[in-house]
Amino acid sequence: MKLSDCIKMAFSDLNKRKFRTVLTSLGISIGTLLVILLGGFGQGVQKISMDQMKQMDTMRLIRVEPFEHVNQKANSNSAPSAKNKKIDQSTLNKLKKIRNVSGVQAYINTQVSQIKVGNKTAQKVSFEGYNLDFNVFSNANENEIKMDKEKSKKFGYKPIIAGENLKKSEENSVLVGKGLVKKLGIENDKNIVGKEIEITVELPKMEGIQEKAPLVIKAKVAGVVNKLYENGGIAVTGSDSMAAKVQEYYMDSKDYINEKGYDRAIVEAKDMNSVSGVSGQIKKLNYTYNSNDNYANQMNNMYLIFKMLLIAAGVVVLLVASIGVINTMTMAVHEKTKMIGIMKAEGASRKNIKRMFIVQSGSLGFLGAILGTVVAVIAGEIINKLLILYKVKGIEEGMKMVDIRASIIIFTILFTVIVSMLAGFVPARKAAKLDPIESLRFE
């Protein structure tokens, strides 16, 4: 008996017993519906969460510290100490050349005693000196601030809100934070742009120690930094050479950049998927680094487990529904006992009889799977539209809380058919073993 003949016979028998077929298929369809809907829900939650995480664009930033990379042993309770490793110009050039790196920043962080613009002063101001061969602001920071529509509408998302950014050719220019402008009592940001700024650095007076003359650096204000950026507070941003002078004054040393290097470098990966690869290359350069790729991977794994648990719940219902298939097929064997005897008398083998009933079980599962799939897809679309219609927090136009993929539909239909065929195996085996003479006597 050909497979095509078995399929025709199976659907013919199912059509003759519509009520029983519908009831059994309904049980299977509920299991299929749950598997697809719960799987789609898990997929939707995972996708929305990971997309929102990707919108946190600063997760692309990798912070490189001036220490050698040290691997923490699994059985070690305390972190091993790392040796100093200078971040210099050659290091920055190597970082820039790493594949999928879109930008690099490097700075020296220090503090100055006083800032003076005209007759206005501010005490103890943070100063960051950047290598102007590279970026002062990262695209990742700008993108993330831009995503916060409420704040960016109020304060803007561009790093410079008045004047212009620092240029390599103007090492005696500085940027001042919006917070510092406010502290100085200057109401209009544009009024400070182009003005001379006097930066004073001095050591506190201590008894018994010779007093050191203050260091005074004069510069021009190139621009004002948006308060939404890290250096937009009570801070001044300048060149690395300017910051090096301040550090040399404090440490009573020379050639600070070549001797000590930068306090930190920040590497910007092209996208979130590139962070892991870029981090690996930084590790090969033997530098300590901090990145968010491990966190993202852990979150992704947690959502994957969550999705599998949801699917498992649907599978349990599907397996319970398979009991209905066993019952239906047992009834079918009982009703066809005489027909089985006739088929065997005409030369049908046990294999043919078994195949006939297993195909019928699979057909029953297929009908239930198709019905469940159609309902699941429709229900998923309705849920997604309702969530957007009622403006549920965190759900925006285009998002799918129930994200039903073709892969889960195909998997569920195949799984349902296989479970149904396995459920029909016992009744099919029983049918194949029937004695043809006893079967012909059955009434």
pLDDT for the residue 295:
66
Domain edges within the chain:
3-54+298-441, 86-285
pLDDT for the residue 67:
94
pLDDT for the residue 2:
62
The three state secondary structure string of 83-147 is CECCCCHHHHHHHHHCCCEEEEEEEEEEEEEEEEECCEEEEEEEEEEECCCCCCCCHHHHHHHHH
The answer to whether the beta carbons of residues 61 and 267 sit under 8 Å apart is: yes
Q: Which parts of the chain register pLDDT below 70?
A: 1-7, 9-11, 13-15, 50-56, 72-81, 208, 293-297, 300, 332-348, 393-394, 431-432, 434-443
How many Cα atoms occupy the beta-carbon half-sphere of 127 within 13 Å?
Answer: 28
Task: Tell me the C-alpha distance between 46 and 84, whole Å.
Answer: 40
pLDDT for the residue 184:
94
Nearest in space to 171 (alpha carbons), one of 221, 235, 241? 241
Task: Tell me the C-alpha distance between 39 and 54, whole Å.
Answer: 22
Nearest in space to 236 (alpha carbons), one of 187, 192, 191? 192
Burial of 153 (0-12, 13-18, 19+ CB in 10 A): exposed
Supply 395's token pair.
């759900």
pLDDT for the residue 75:
40
In terms of phi and psi (left: phi > 0; alpha: psi -120 to 50; beta: otherwise), the region of 81 is beta
- Residue 207 DSSP SS3: coil
Sign of CA dihedral 45, 48, 50, 52: negative
The answer to whether the beta carbons of residues 224 and 192 sit under 8 Å apart is: yes
pTM of the predicted model, to two decimals? 0.62
pLDDT for the residue 262:
97
